[in-house]
Amino acid sequence: AFENPLEMPPLSELVNGNSKVLILFDDNCQPFPPTKKPDMRQIMIETLLRMLYEYGVEKKNIQLMCAVALHRKMKAHELAYMLGKNIMDEFYPDQLRNFDAEDANQIVEVGHTEQDEVVETDKAALEADLVIYVDMIQIPLNGGHKSVAVGLGTYNSIAPHHSPHMTAESPHVMQPEGSHMHACIERMSRLIQKETPILVLEAAMNGAIYPFHLRYVGKPNRDCNIAEKVIKTFTPATLSLLPESLRYNILKSVRTDYEPIQINAGDIDAVHERTLASMKDQLAIDIPRQFSTLVFGLPDMSPYAVDARINPVLVVSDILGYVFNWFYNKPIIKKDGVVIIMNPTYEIFHEEYHVAYKMFYDEVLADTTEPFEMQQKFQEKYAKDEFLIDCYRNKFAHHGFHPFTVWYWATYPLKYLSKVILVGPKEPRVAQRLGVDWAKNLDDALAMAREISGDDDVVALTMPPFFYANVGD
């Protein structure tokens, strides 16, 4: 891919003995859940480094950076898992670091877009003779212009597109087509491209979430053999006998079998067009029509809770921000439909990673769950809070603005749906804090939905594998 990039010269013509090269890569939000070793980041970057050395680039002129944006920074052992021992020994810590959106000595203003959106980035990107972004793509949300513009984005640059104004009238968050959010990101990316050459390497990943010995779990029952059907029948009952902490550890120990189905390098537009096409081939499923009620059981997993328990804010955002928006043409749910979320929704917040989430839950959601109102009353306060900035910079916490961003992705479904019902908490208090309804069990929730729709037009989604819907009329 590097020797035959799309709409760019070969890598050998882009660098020489004097070149400064910045290699960027994603944090552990993707691929999600975590993949087996060796991680594709390690494989791709080790290959890239050998090529750069062969073309005369000196080690001292190479920097590696994890493009965390406003996510929590990666710990050393997490970087080692992603990149492998050899890269860590060779570059960490002097030439391998996390991006820091609050480092005033590193952040520079690139300019303003035609819509007057400020673009800020790490000055290492502008000082490099070549920026190379190594990306693994699971869903159309990621990659393309989003990589550098958001991965090295600051609060000032991310706030314009991670805003309820971008999503209130347009449901397209999870794909570029028809998305106000992605259009804003593209404007910013093109401004950065004017200042520094960017070569992207995108690996479109398959949907092999389950390793070989668990692959039957992801099969429809009709495709399982007798032994697999028996195991699937008894596994939930068996797991229910185990302590909750042990079930959690078993779940978190699973490593995926993700492999690339296509790899392309070159110009952002040319590469991402191919990535999106391969993603569509893999993810698109036809659903004959819309339904009145959707039921989804959410496991204790979230891209923003790797190595942590999922918190109540993420329960809402993972369903309404992600799952609801996983469609190509229109939502699976009818206008004024009902979504039923099944999750125990424990009030657990990771003491390091989710400091801002805990404050958001206790203060912001206690006051309002309305995205525009919380934006006006609380966003700036949290984004500029010195304690939260210190937690982000030095204590591996998500940025103070991050819980707002995930809540904003639910702006459209919160308007579109007539009711969201939470099943799992033993009492309604958690649901009330989240601004949703509560039912003590699924039967009660379905009865509540039936009162609204007047029918039993219900669909239950099972993931994995991930999919995007093409919904018929």
pLDDT tens-place string over residues 352-376: 999 999 999 999 999 999 999 999 9
Check residue 456 and give its pLDDT.
87
From residue 186, alpha-carbon distances to 117, 128, 161, 279, 286 in Å are 11, 21, 10, 19, 29
Is residue 218 domain-shared with residue 307, that is, in the same domain? no
Question: Looking at the structure, do residues 175 and 227 belong to the same domain, yes or no?
Answer: no
Note whether residue 267 is domain-resident: no
The C-alpha atoms of residue 346 and residue 325 are separated, in whole angstroms, by 24
Question: In the block, which residue shows the tokens 């200042």?
Answer: 195
Q: What is residue 44's predicted lDDT score, i.e. its pLDDT?
A: 97
Q: Identify whether residues 20 and 111 lie together within a single domain.
A: yes
Say whether both 354 and 397 belong to one domain.
Answer: yes
Work out the angle at residue 41's Cα, subtended by the Cα atoms of residues 35 and 42, and round it to the nearest 5 degrees: 100
Residue 399 lies in a domain: yes
From the list 109, 196, 115, the residue with the least C-alpha distance to 153 is: 109
User: What's the pLDDT at 245?
Assistant: 84
Domain encompassing residue 243 = 214-252
Same domain for 179 and 144: yes
pLDDT the model gives residue 228: 87
Ranges of beta strands (E only) in 72-185 are: 96-98, 107-112, 118-122, 130-137
| Alpha helices in 255-369, H assignment, sequence order | 268-283, 312-316, 355-359, 365-367
Task: Read off the CATH number of the domain in which 429 is found.
Answer: 3.90.226
Q: Tell me if 4 is assigned to some domain.
A: no
Q: What is the pLDDT of residue 414?
A: 94
If asked whether residues 71 and 173 sit together in one domain, one would say yes
Q: Is residue 269 part of a domain?
A: no
- The tokens for 431 are 């649901």
If asked whether residues 200 and 218 sit together in one domain, one would say no
pLDDT at 4: 92
Contacts of 162-165 with C-beta under 8 Å, sequence gap 24+, read 162/401, 162/404, 162/405, 162/408, 163/375, 163/408, 164/371, 164/372, 164/375, 164/408, 164/411, 165/372
The reply to whether 145 and 196 lie within a common domain is: yes
The verdict on residue 5 lying in a domain is no
Tell me whether strands 130-137 and 21-25 are parallel, antiparallel or unpaired.
parallel
Residue 303 domain-assigned (yes or no): yes
Which positions ≥6 away from 279 have C-beta within 8 Å? Answer: 137, 139, 140, 204
Same domain, 185 and 225: no
Q: Do 106 and 145 share a domain, yes or no?
A: yes
Would you say 350 and 403 are in contact if contact means Cβ atoms under 8 Å apart?
Answer: no
Where does a domain end: 186, 205, 224? Answer: 205
Check whether residue 194 and residue 312 sit in a common domain: no
- Domains held by the chain: number: 3
**Does residue 64 lie in a domain region?**
yes
pLDDT for position 249: 84
* Residue 455 tokens, joined: 């029918």
Q: Where are the beta strands (DSSP E) in 168-255?
A: 198-205
Burial of 443 (0-12, 13-18, 19+ CB in 10 A): exposed
Positions of the chain with pLDDT under 50: none
Of 3, 261, 295, 287, which Cα lies nearest the Cα of 137? 261
Q: CA 395 → CA 91, 101, 151, 354, 400, distances in Å? A: 22, 14, 19, 11, 13
pTM tops 0.85: yes
* Torsion sign (Cα): 347, 98, 150, 138: negative
Same domain, 352 and 424: yes
